[in-house]
Chain A
Amino acid sequence: MAKGLVFLSLAILVILPTLQLASGAENEAGQYVQRKVEIWNLFFKMMTIAFTVGAVVSGTLIWLVWRFRESNPKAKPTKYEEKGEW
């Protein structure tokens, strides 16, 4: 389960930016290079990556908080607690 989640996260991290790369087509706006168009495009690409990674990281964080809180019915003492070595 845990490993599956790791793989899923990695898949999302690798595949989405690649798709983005493929679809980052050219935009023609007149005869000169449009500085604002190029730079804002870069911004939107970076935000796609940032929000994807952000969703994975904050999703993981929220899941961790929900799953491993001590009030969760499934919570059990860690093995370190049992051995008293932490």
Chain B
Amino acid sequence: MVVSGHSNWPEWIYVGVVIALLAYVGAEAWNVERIVEHAPAEAEVIKVIGQQWFWTFERADGTKEVGELHVKKGHPYKFEITAKDVNHAFNIHDYVILQDAIVGRTNAAWFAPDKAGEYTIQCREYCGLLHYNMRATLYVEE
């Protein structure tokens, strides 16, 4: 039903262009996700535990760090992220690491830091009174 007798072809071309752009965005996103998802087999596992309102990092050899994490440059690490009391989200924004820390589940994320320095680790999921201050520091060492 065309109300005023005009043709609708510009609208269909427009919709086609929109769908083509969306398909391109979707395909590109799918590809990037595929590339970044799989952790290399040799990655060292670090267990990340979030609780109100601090982060604990535990390595395979049993050593623990609270509120700070020391890693080596150029070496791959795989985080296994979980929470003890309520949900949190483990975030190193500078390395685009973001995974929810959920009670009773373990989520994974991996990275290989390429630059030495200090980076902020923060909580990105609302977790109560001191959520805003639930931070830790990542030290990437040569």
Contacts and interface: CB of A to CB of B under 8 A. Distances in A.
Interface of A: 6, 10, 13-14, 17, 21, 29-36, 38-42, 45-46, 49, 53, 80
Contacts of A35: 36, 95-97, 110-111
Interface residues of B, number: 24
Contacts of B4: 80
A38 B97 CA distance: 12
Interface string B100-118: 0000000000111010000
The interface residues of chain A, by DSSP majority, are classed as helix
Contacts of B76: 32
B25 A46 contact: yes
The interface residues of chain B, by DSSP majority, are classed as helix
B112 A38 contact: no
A29 B17 contact: no
A33 B36 contact: yes
Contacts of A32: 40, 76, 112
A25 to B, nearest CB: 14
A34 B110 CA distance: 10
A21 B94 contact: no
